[in-house]
Structure 1
């Protein structure tokens, strides 16, 4: 079996992706004549002469593997020819930035048949239309087509469906994409280990964040997949906590907070890792944190174990809630009949988000088709609905949180308050939240966990001491 580095030594499989997209278009929307996509444009920061941070358009990258700005691509479906167009040389730019990529260099780098300059796009499109008798469709993405681009000779230009079709195609990853995701995970795992070590002496959340970013950049993941979360103590109750600048000690004392929730992932060649861990700040988990951690770890382990081609993600989400209810009943935080607690959706107050989401070039990747209008609050924030195909990569991130804003309405409800023992609950507010998140490749026969960051309690405590 080839290693990650051996797989990634080849070119990004742009041509295979173009064929896949064209086939889906043909199956759903009629025969495609040509596909046209543009890269992200170079944009200046407002009131400044410096370019904004660059993030390549994902549909364009999927059909090219190219991270160059201001480029474009055309796929001639009938001829099965993929042509990349790069900007011509701008002498003024060369003074400051050096020579750009040449067509010859680009041809060696990317899985395309031809490389031309962007000044040749219209002539190429017209030539394709003429060769096909002007009876076929051109597909592009609305608001991602420059004003000077003409689709001369095509019977119709469809701007409405290509983005979603590419989104659907992206759900099933090929071996190259899985290798990219595994690489992003491997680098991010090094970052999480660095965080555990840095937290021993750190005094502020931002110091631990700096250790993660430093490690990722040093190992080839310059960009973060998303704004990372470093939430100490009760801050972990905020799902998308972003401040990352509070003390790791209790207010007015030198006592360290019990734990630090870290949700952070690096991006490798546009493919994302999304990993969450909780670590102890004083070498060992406080009793209450450890008890919740054990429940969440069981939720994750059992949910990962059932993943395989065709499993209904909604059912896996239900499984996580069932395990959470059993665990919270055992601790005495919940009380009453297990089935009643489930039917009344009491567990949603402690586990309010979905179990996970597709992962790829975007952290919350395409193709999940969530239903945020679902009247059932247990499923309202579930980002993936339906059956998981083989080849998909999904995050499994159960959590249990102690957020007053969410739990207080349940405590004030005459119908629901009887299911929560407030005397026991009061011991757990300082836990904040525990979430454990791995990235899992779904195969025909079962799960392939791409995430190697430590999560076993003894291993994490050993590194923290």
Structure 2
């Protein structure tokens, strides 16, 4: 059985699917959670993984409407065993990324969500890019990071820009800075309107000095319309007072929900970020044979990412040697490697503003000690068993509990814990060794939107979960179990009889030098299960082989 589809460039591709009936034949359900159900979205053909058609209008003429393309059907195989390869979403990520970022589809998706709350919504969506700002007491600009809400609807990384989207006509307009002769002397020519129109998925490009006149003209021609913007992200000189109706709350909420479900292009970006990060993780393990301190390994990771086109990191990398690995968000990255057992590296490159988030733990001398290997095997089983439960509709709370159960079984088997495993779980003693949540949404932010965490939860087992509720198909989540030996966290448990009766301190003393082990992958959720987007090695034997090579 073959599935024939078209890539983003229009080329026909054919991929063999496993012969494992029955198949689910779906045009919609594979990529939408309940709150974005296709029925609720009236099966809008602009959703899903269809190639995007783009206007060829000039920057000074009114753009022609974007043709509405039929979204191709998607074969979704049920869980089965097969030797045939399964077609994966955006597996050939470089081919997918030859196209434009599908910003206009994202704007339409956002409008659909706004209309679920305000059925008769009409008017303009209005967003601003991050503005150039100087460092305090300095004449150099702050490092630039584009506003994620703006990028989601434009695909543009240009600073000091503006954007409007007409809800009624679906016309999108990007306003970019005009040429400033004084700036050209220092920074060169900026992007032109023609270049911006060719590069971004918008219908028209104007200059920023046109924004107020465009807004005023629209408000005058559409007196009952509403301008939808984000509170605190409207420049003082922008005049929205001409609009009779202003809504500064629903746009942000709607984009946050829309961002949870990724389209093919977004998955391709995350795959690319993971690909580059995996190269860098491997390079760090190789460099550890000669490195003297954590900072050298940090330099190796950064250099490898930059050499492969990823100059930005998704977050501040963590390279923690020895007992420092017990600190979840360790920041020093400059301590010696001498007499340290393992190194935990939590680091991910960013690609086109989308994050990867990968953690690996490896032995600095090339071979895990018996204690380190025991903990590594426990954590790997935690990840494998929880990943096996991932599919659309699965409860993340329940999967998180499974991670704790596997941790308890493992720690009982090596003697760190003692007693009845259900009593250990009920007492929450396992939180001393696995104190954080199993994972979170991933996308334009490392801790992406839509997770609905509850940091005030009275149950310590769930307080630090950044993702609550069920998993929607099309989302990308991290799966990052860990077991840690942090004195600051564990010692209070040892002083509390409620917990101390379950912990064997004599055995525990053998494991302090392990520090902590965490293994983290990035997973794309499907109706039938998941696809692992992370390719960095993690089998203990493979990790040791690289370290010893």
Provide the TM-score with structure 2 as the length reference: 0.82
Contact 1:125 1:152 in 2 (8 A): no
Residue 171 of structure 1 aligns to a residue in which SS? coil
State whether structure 2 residue 300 is matched by structure 1 residue 211.
yes
State how far apart, in whole Å, the 2-side matches of 1:364 and 1:29 are: 28
Alignment-derived partner of residue 254 in structure 1: none
* Structure 1 counterpart of 2:274, from 172, 176, 185: 185
Alignment-derived partner of residue 375 in structure 1: 458
Which 4+ stretches in 1 moved above 6 angstroms? none
Alignment-derived partner of residue 338 in structure 1: 421
State whether structure 2 residue 503 is matched by structure 1 residue 413.
no
Residue 243 of structure 1 aligns to a residue in which SS? coil
1:29 to partner: Cα distance: 3.3
State how far apart, in whole Å, the 2-side matches of 1:310 and 1:95 are: 56
Alignment-derived partner of residue 68 in structure 1: 158
Q: Write out aligned runs for 1:229-308 (5 A).
A: 229-250=318-339, 257-308=340-391
Residue 373 of structure 1 aligns to a residue in which SS? coil
More helix by share: 1
Alignment-derived partner of residue 196 in structure 1: 285
Alignment-derived partner of residue 166 in structure 1: 255
What is the aligned residue count? 458
State whether structure 2 residue 104 is matched by structure 1 residue 15.
yes
Contact 2:427 2:498 in 1 (8 A): no
The gaps in structure 2 that reach 5 residues or longer are 8-91
Contact 1:22 1:32 in 2 (8 A): no
1:153 to partner: Cα distance: 4.2
Alignment-derived partner of residue 82 in structure 1: 172
1:161 to partner: Cα distance: 2.6
Alignment-derived partner of residue 115 in structure 1: 205
Alignment-derived partner of residue 50 in structure 2: none
1:306 to partner: Cα distance: 1.1
State how far apart, in whole Å, the 1-side matches of 2:95 and 2:218 are: 36
State whether structure 2 residue 230 is matched by structure 1 residue 135.
no
Contact 1:395 1:439 in 2 (8 A): yes
Contact 1:390 1:444 in 2 (8 A): yes
Residue 339 of structure 1 aligns to a residue in which SS? helix
Residue 419 of structure 1 aligns to a residue in which SS? coil
State how far apart, in whole Å, the 1-side matches of 2:216 and 2:175 are: 15
Contact 1:36 1:139 in 2 (8 A): yes
Cα distance per residue 1:20-39 (max 9 Å; x no partner):
11111111134141100000
Alignment-derived partner of residue 54 in structure 1: 144
1:121 to partner: Cα distance: 1.1
Alignment-derived partner of residue 396 in structure 2: 313
State how far apart, in whole Å, the 1-side matches of 2:358 and 2:535 are: 10
Alignment-derived partner of residue 238 in structure 2: 149
Q: What is the RMSD computed on CA atoms of the aligned residues?
A: 1.0
Cα distance per residue 1:166-204 (max 9 Å; x no partner):
111100000000000000000000000000001010010
Alignment-derived partner of residue 436 in structure 2: 353
Contact 1:313 1:385 in 2 (8 A): yes
Alignment-derived partner of residue 125 in structure 1: 215
Closer/same/farther in 2, CA of residues 32 and 387 from structure 1, 3 Å limit:
farther
Cα distance per residue 1:390-417 (max 9 Å; x no partner):
1100000000000111111111112221
Q: Write out aligned runs for 1:381-392 (5 A).
A: 381-392=464-475
State how far apart, in whole Å, the 2-side matches of 1:346 and 1:121 are: 58
State how far apart, in whole Å, the 2-side matches of 1:52 and 1:287 are: 47
State whether structure 2 residue 537 is matched by structure 1 residue 447.
no
1:134 to partner: Cα distance: 1.6
- Indicate the larger mover: 162-171 or 189-198: 162-171
State how far apart, in whole Å, the 2-side matches of 1:415 and 1:316 are: 25
The gaps in structure 1 that reach 5 residues or longer are 251-256
Contact 1:276 1:437 in 2 (8 A): yes
Contact 1:402 1:432 in 2 (8 A): yes
State how far apart, in whole Å, the 2-side matches of 1:276 and 1:79 are: 45
Alignment-derived partner of residue 225 in structure 1: 314
Alignment-derived partner of residue 253 in structure 1: none
State how far apart, in whole Å, the 2-side matches of 1:283 and 1:152 are: 65
Contact 1:129 1:152 in 2 (8 A): no
1:49 to partner: Cα distance: 1.2
State how far apart, in whole Å, the 2-side matches of 1:345 and 1:240 are: 22
Alignment-derived partner of residue 518 in structure 2: 435
State how far apart, in whole Å, the 1-side matches of 2:504 and 2:456 are: 31
State how far apart, in whole Å, the 1-side matches of 2:297 and 2:181 are: 44
